[in-house]
């Protein structure tokens, strides 16, 4: 089976950590030797001159047309990005940018399926490509693509058209599937496909040892003592770091490490100073994926009060490191925070977040008990599931699925 997968959210030689979870999934697919050949195309948005010369776009010119630096062969194609005003029209520009390449590759060795790894803009762009090639289409939703773009009428119309065209759809949690159905997507075509986990990297390291390690690293410089809260994620309002900084006022002994970078950094630093907690808030910047497990193991609590998520990879990674999480009751949170040893679901208010953190610190579960909540997650299992999904959509695969369902009904 030859699958063409399109992903705007994908690592590249300039930003190797960008969309790393999609990269991990696809590397596992390639490594599975399960009868699927994968061709990966990653569209890169670049604005017109002179914006293309400014940060953060200037470095994108260094991305080659083809690279195997990410552990698998990837075709990178640039499309015209119109910052702030052109988001709803990105799918058409993406399709126009990649269709010449895709047609050439299809002529050389035909594809059996077109796949999109993000619902917007990837899904509608992949729908155009699939229609041009006369191929079945699959689209995966990860959370923000549905929750944010689903509120924009022009984007939603394109997403619904793509969903109706698709042979199969994926959601990263049962809760996200329900949200997709509420938007008008066909429920009978949606399967749940949980995220994976690099179990060699993300596993419990004794908290004291991990804390000593990260406090000794000059590029991290994390405090060696005191309860440690870690909030990972891009510094953007949607992730809710401001709520954690406000919660810190009610947690006088705790320290907060923000692992991420983004446009909200200056505002968050000003807020920390205004609230008198700047000496207890550390901005780590982007944390290398090799170091992130040590930071998560060193933390007493992981707090991420996002506005929306599907089922965040960092929830799973934190739990795998033995660190309980404090998150809102959003997306697939109920599917992994099944009892207090996994953490707490709480309202998105500073007081509620502070109370949840204090509650965990007063009765800290063992790292082993926390990690057990995500024992079923791995990239190998994730890859097997998506490969089975793709194969089930082939004509003979669909027949096999129908026969199995008939047998279950008879039984």
pLDDT, tens digit (0-9, with 9 covering 90-100), for 298-318: 999 999 999 999 999 999 999
Pairing mode, strands 37-46 and 137-141: unpaired
Residues 331 and 344 in one domain: yes
Residue 283 and residue 289: Cα distance in Å, rounded?
16
Task: Determine the 3-state secondary structure of 307 from DSSP.
Answer: coil
pLDDT digit string (tens) for 7-24? 999 999 999 988 999 999
Residue 43, H or E segment: strand 37-46
> How many C-beta neighbours within 10 Å does residue 263 have?
10
Residue 411 lies in a domain: no
Q: Which domain holds residue 347?
A: 207-374
From residue 75, alpha-carbon distances to 6, 98, 145, 320 in Å are 10, 9, 23, 33
Residues 172 and 154 in one domain: yes
pLDDT digit string (tens) for 222-246? 999 999 999 999 999 999 999 999 9
> Residue 398: its pLDDT value, please?
46
Task: Determine the 3-state secondary structure of 317 from DSSP.
Answer: helix
Q: Which segments in the chain show pLDDT lower than 50? A: 398-411
> Residue 17: its pLDDT value, please?
86
- Overall size of the chain counted in residues: 411
Residues 211 and 157 in one domain: no
Phi, psi of 157 (to 5 degrees): -60, -40
Residues 301 and 398 in one domain: no
In this structure, what token pair is assigned to residue 364?
A: 């800290």
Average pLDDT, the chain: 93
Number of domains forming the structure of the chain: 2
Residue 179 and residue 231: Cα distance in Å, rounded?
26
**CATH number of the domain that 246 lies in?**
3.40.50.2000
Residue 220 lies in a domain: yes
Phi, psi of 192 (to 5 degrees): -90, 130
Pairing mode, strands 37-46 and 2-6: parallel
Residues 321 and 357 in one domain: yes
Residues 273 and 392 in one domain: no
Q: Which residue has the tokens 């006088």?
A: 252
């Amino acid at each position: 089976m030859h699958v063409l997968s399109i992903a705007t959210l994908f690592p590249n030689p300039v930003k190797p950590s960008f969309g790393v979870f999609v990269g991990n999934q696809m590397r596992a697919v390639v490594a599975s030797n399960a009868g699927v050949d994968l061709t990966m195309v990653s569209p890169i948005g670049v604005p017109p001159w002179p914006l293309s010369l400014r940060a953060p776009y200037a470095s994108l010119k260094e991305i080659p047309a083809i690279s195997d630096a990410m552990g698998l062969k990837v075709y990178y194609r640039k499309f015209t990005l119109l910052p702030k005003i052109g988001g709803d029209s990105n799918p058409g520009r993406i399709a126009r940018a990649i269709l010449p390449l895709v047609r050439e590759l299809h002529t050389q060795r035909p594809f059996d399926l077109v796949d999109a790894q993000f619902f917007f803009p990837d899904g509608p762009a992949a729908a155009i490509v699939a229609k041009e090639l006369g191929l079945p289409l699959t689209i995966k939703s990860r959370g923000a693509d549905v929750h944010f773009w689903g509120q924009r009428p022009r984007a939603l119309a394109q997403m619904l058209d793509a969903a109706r065209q698709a042979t199969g759809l994926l959601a990263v949690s049962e809760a996200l599937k329900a949200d997709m159905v509420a938007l008008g997507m066909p429920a009978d075509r949606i399967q749940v496909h949980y995220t994976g986990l690099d179990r060699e990297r993300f596993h419990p390291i004794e908290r004291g040892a991990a804390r000593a390690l990260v406090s000794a690293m000059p590029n991290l410089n994390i405090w060696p003592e005191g309860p440690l809260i870690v909030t990972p994620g891009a510094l953007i309002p949607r992730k809710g770091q401001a709520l954690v900084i406000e919660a810190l006022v009610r947690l006088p002994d705790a320290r907060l490490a923000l692992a991420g970078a983004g446009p909200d950094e200056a505002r968050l630093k000003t807020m920390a100073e205004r609230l008198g907690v700047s000496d207890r808030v550390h901005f780590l910047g982007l944390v290398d994926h090799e170091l992130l497990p040590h930071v998560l193991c060193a933390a007493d609590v992981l707090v991420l009060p996002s506005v929306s998520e599907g089922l965040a990879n960092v929830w799973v990674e934190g739990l795998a490191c033995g660190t309980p999480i404090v998150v809102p009751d959003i997306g697939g949170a109920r599917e992994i925070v099944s009892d207090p040893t996994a953490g707490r679901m709480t309202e998105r208010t500073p007081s509620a977040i502070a109370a949840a953190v204090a509650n965990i610190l007063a009765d800290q579960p063992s790292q082993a008990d926390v990690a057990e909540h995500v024992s079923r997650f791995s990239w190998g299992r994730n890859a097997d599931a998506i490969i089975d999904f793709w194969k089930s959509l082939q004509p003979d695969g669909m027949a096999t699925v129908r026969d199995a369902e008939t047998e279950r009904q008879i039984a």
